[in-house]
Amino acid sequence: MPKLFVVAGEASGDAHAGRMLKALKQHRPDISVSGIGGETMREAGVDIITDFAELAVMGLVEVIKRYSHIKAVFDKTVEHLASSKPDALILVDYPGFNLKLAKKAHELGIPVIYYISPKIWAWRAGRIKAIKRYVDLMLVLFPFEQSLYEKADVAVKCVGHPLVDAVHSDWTSEQAKSHFSLDTKAPVLGLFPGSRRSEVEALLPVMLATAEHIQQRDNSVQVILPLAPGLDRTLIELYLSETAVKVEVISGEFYDVVRSCDAIVAASGTVTLEIALLGVPHLITYRVAPLTYQILKRLVKIPYVGLCNIVTGKNVVTELLQSQVSVAELAPRLLYFLTAAEAQQQAHIVQEQVLKALGPSGGADNAARAVISFIDTHHS
């Protein structure tokens, strides 16, 4: 029986890996899968040996603070690989951890598949050298990434972005509001502070202060917050206890939660692509330790942090970074989204542009088939 070990170090990686592994299990139920991940991978039948919540952290300064803990998880993972000798190691994004793991796997003679490329086109282009040395097959989401790896002579296949198929809600905005016991006639503001503790700490207080300001202007505005997978509810409730705003915290049914919103303020990440694909007006926010930001500014080669803007190559969604993440910047823009009819039309234009930029459909299934083909070639 072929064995796979899969590593997803954060919520978006867990979601991508989970969708791919679910498709893989449908084609080949005989393949056994264990790894590092979360709820989506668990639901796909993966034996989780470490929960990704132990790894999820964003920003250079933030990583340094938790270095010894992350190192312990890394060492435990290497030991597991050495003793279990899987037929392939599948690494999902999370390059700081995963590229080091690729090197160890290579030394142990374990073939490495990398699903969802590190953003070498944005920063740390030198990582392609390590990828060429230690990774046997790259499975990338975007057509432009495929040509990048082909030029560097790395085995690569563009499988397409799984979100093209995955992002879906059967409901209208009114139906979604009704489902979550919200007033269907009153506007809904969504606060999406991210899936990492460091993001929530940096963004949620400002988001709540903004919601409070908006409610003072219009007390009919309702506020909801989806609980990101792997995030401790008590952390959210700690901040909610300090605000006058009534916030409805919702677990699961993520795309229906997005559909119920008239405007959203979100942490930069995969979630902003999902919001764009559902056609909801939103703002992208990003805030890390000042030192982290100064270092990133020097390293990053592209003008955007938001995925919608990166994939379309233009500024289609407003990004507010660092000190711009303030009530003064957020509130007027969100009030415009909540009250202006043309905001919805603009969001639909963004939706079409993002969809066009994301490449072929069937991403998760394409990735699963590529993994199966790889294993069948290497497993004998």
**Domains annotated on the chain, with CATH:** 3-162+362-378 (3.40.50.2000), 166-357 (3.40.50.2000)
Compute CA 218 distance to the chain's CA centroid, rounded to the nearest angstrom: 32
Sheet of 188-192, strands arranged across: 247-251, 222-227, 188-192, 263-267, 282-286, 319-321
pLDDT of residue 297: 73
Query: Per-residue pLDDT averaged across 232-254, rounded?
Result: 94
Give which of 147, 143, 127, 126 is closest to 135, Cα–Cα.
127
Residue 216 scores a pLDDT above 80 = yes
Query: Per-residue pLDDT averaged across 231-242, rounded?
Result: 93
Query: Per-residue pLDDT averaged across 188-214, rounded?
Result: 95
pLDDT of residue 53: 82
pTM for the whole structure: 0.75
The answer to whether 92 and 98 are in contact (CB under 8 A) is: yes
Q: What number of residues does the chain have?
A: 380
| Residues sharing a CB contact under 8 Å with residue 29, sequence separation 6 or more, in sequence order | none
pLDDT of residue 33: 98
Query: Per-residue pLDDT averaged across 193-206, rounded?
Result: 93
Q: What would the pLDDT profile of 264-294 be if each residue is shown by its tens digit?
A: 999 998 899 999 999 999 999 999 888 777 7
What is the phi/psi pair of residue 184, to 5°? -70, -20
Q: What would the pLDDT profile of 18-32 be if each residue is shown by its tens digit?
A: 999 999 999 999 999
Query: Per-residue pLDDT averaged across 199-225, rounded?
Result: 96
Cα dihedral across residues 104, 107, 108, 110: positive or negative:
positive
Residue 60 scores a pLDDT above 80 = no
